[in-house]
Chain A
Amino acid sequence: MEANPAALPNSAAPRAGIRLPGAGVGLGRGYVVLYLSLMVLIPLAALVDESLSSGLGNFWNQVSSPQAVRSLELTLVASLIVVAINAVFGTIIAWLLVRDEFPGKAAVNAIIDLPFALPTIVASLTLLALYGNESPFGIDIAFTRTAVVVALLFVTLPFVVRAVQPLLIEMDREMEEAAASLGAGGFTIFRRIIFPNLIPGLAAGVALAFARALGEFGSVLIFAGGLPDTQVSSVFIRSQVESGNEPGAAAVSMVLLLASLLCLAAISLIQRWGSRHERSTGGGLVMPMAGEMPSETDVKGGDDELR
């Protein structure tokens, strides 16, 4: 399932395969378009409509209110810090899982996906128990901006690990050995050989983690709270809904929506670039966790099949 479509033997296969009968295709497409419209597009259109309903001027007033700006700044800065930390630790963890051997490695590998499976509100509650005023480690960071960062670190942890891991598995180690035999030091080998091969996966993992961090809500809620100082944008949006300021909530939501679209566009570009990179070097860009990774290139591959 994690195979790269570009490398599949069947990509040059002739058309056919399971195809819906003529009328079925039209019916199927109608169903897909209707489902996506009802479930996703029309609600988002209502959001866009609400945010602009009282004019661009009012939209701008809502977005530039001090509390809104503060929440957006915090969200952006915390997300940037989080992806930077996860880029480093994610790469270390991926390296340990691929190149190192230690007891319990299989269990460690399995637990990496825990943040995908554990409800965010549960994560928030447990982080508060661990790093709140009753902390067994004596670390109390609850209701601070540090808590926002720690909560976001938890939920975004798997992205970089799962993006870098397959690249490390596929990497050709002969190059590293050749470089070492020619006298290259450890740092040179990492910088000149290992790191360049990891860039596509690292970039995709970072972009996904960033998108996730920007919109995160549940894990921040209990642990960091909704104090003026620790209010990320999603928490701000909910407080605006609760206090009846729907235009304000919709305006900040529009900013997050635009940020999400930008992240998705970036991920799509990274993937296209990664699959080109893959053809030229033999490394591969593989999804961090197939379920979490948008894959426009996959669909492109499918189209090629029919040409």
Chain B
Amino acid sequence: MSSASARSHVGSGAVSRWSLRILGLGFLALLLAAPLVIIFFETFKDGVQPPLDAITSPNGIHALKLSLLMVVIAVPLNTVFGVVCAVLLVRHKWKANALIDSVINLPFALSPVVIGLALYLLYSTNGGWFGPTLAEAGLEVLFSVPGMVLASIFVSLPFVVRETVPVLQEIGTEQEQAASTLGANAWQTFWRVTLPAIRWGVAYGVVLTTARVLGEFGAVTIVSGSISGKTETLPLFVSKEFERFSEPGAYGASLVLALLALTTLLAMNLLKRKEDA
């Protein structure tokens, strides 16, 4: 493979070029393209009605609504945090910045199950640090929506920061300086100069955050208890339907999630182009 790549660049190896194409594209076809195709195939193999019935069942609708609720709460919280944190990291030198930066990367490297377990132990009513106190105050975190929101926030926390930091560095400070020379205060400069300049980077981060929250399974499965019609998001619904041997439900919900994933890819490509422009 190694010799082929250089030789075909130099232009003398049609055979090696074709073998590389077959290897690389074949790998992609078997690993990426085939799964996408089979979702459609499996979902509709007995017609449109069974999957449609399954995902419009009360549990299916509830799962979809709960998934959207996760997005509506977790994404704005992480977006505001991400932009503020990025501005502080890039524009305000502080001893703790390196540490903050490392902590932000943690959710990328951690197993979602470990994240779920950490939250489970913290909010357990049976000996967790916060659980008993919150239970006395009447707030149920585990096996209910607040715990699932916390898990969603944890796993998707880094994206907006990571996308915004490089854009902030790239735009530089000249326009902002000009604005403040012309008498704009810090907030005016931020809203009128900085935010418009970083908006595509932030938007890219928001898309990634949304996709992560919609698809999250490992962390949420631990803290939610996966109670049908109560604490089940779409990915949990897929898993539960599969365990029940309800293929139309599992594939129908999978298809919804796959279409959302394709929309995400489309949005990522459009935003990349906007950013590069």
CB within 8 Å of B: which residues of A? Answer: 1-3, 5, 8-10, 13-21, 24-25, 28-29, 31-33, 35-36, 39-44, 46-47, 49-50, 88-89, 92-93, 95-96, 99-100, 102, 108, 110-123, 125-127, 129-130, 136, 150, 153-154, 157, 173, 176-177, 180, 185-191, 193-195, 208, 211-212, 214-218, 221-222, 233-235, 237-238, 241, 246, 249-250, 253, 256-257, 260-261, 263-264, 268, 287, 290-296, 298-303, 305-307
Q: Which of B10, B28, B154 contacts A39 (CB 8 A)?
A: B154
Q: Does B133 contact A (CB under 8 A)?
A: no
Q: What is the total number of residues of chain B having a CB less than 8 Å from a CB of chain A? A: 126
Are the CB atoms of A46 and B118 closer together than 8 Å?
yes
Total A-B Cβ pairs within 8 A: 390
A–B pairs, 6, beta carbons within 8 Å:
A1-B204, A13-B173, A17-B173, A114-B36, A241-B120, A256-B110
Contacts A121-B238, A218-B217; A102 near B31 (Cβ below 8 A): no
For residue B72, CB closer than 8 A to chain A, the reply is no
- Closest CB-CB distance, B154 to chain A, in whole Å? 6
| CA of A88 to CA of B28, assembled, Å | 13
Q: A1-B167, A117-B264, A294-B109 are in contact. List 10 more A-B contacts (CB 8 A).
A: A9-B172, A15-B173, A18-B193, A35-B81, A42-B122, A92-B5, A116-B211, A122-B254, A188-B6, A257-B114
Which residues on the A side are within 8 Å of B221 (C-beta)? 238
CA gap between A237 and B194 in the complex, in Å: 44
* Chain B: minimal CB distance from A234 (Å): 4
Interchain CB contact (< 8 A) of B92 among A25, A88, A118, A263 = A25
Closest to B35 in A: A126
A263 and B111 alpha carbons, distance in the complex (Å): 12
Q: Which of A117, A215, A217, A256 has the most CB of B within 10 A?
A: A117
B19 closest partner in A (C-beta)? A92
Chain B residues lying within 8 Å of A187, measured Cβ to Cβ, are: 2-3, 6
Q: Which of B195-234 contact A (CB under 8 A)?
A: 201, 204-205, 208, 211, 214-218, 221-222, 234
Nearest B residue (CB) for A15 = B173
Give 1 or 0 for each of B102-113: 1 = CB within 8 Å of chain A CB: 111111111111
Contact between B201 and A1 (Cβ–Cβ < 8 Å)?
yes
Instruction: Point out the residue from B118, B129, B169, B214 that lies within 8 Å of A301, measured CB to CB.
Output: B169
Q: How far is the CB of B222 from chain A (nearest CB, A)?
A: 6
A256 near B84: Cβ-Cβ < 8 Å:
no
Residues 85-109 of B, flagged 1 when their CB comes within 8 A of A and 0 if not, give 1011111111011101111111111
In this assembly, does B132 line the interface, its C-beta being within 8 Å of a C-beta of chain A?
Answer: no
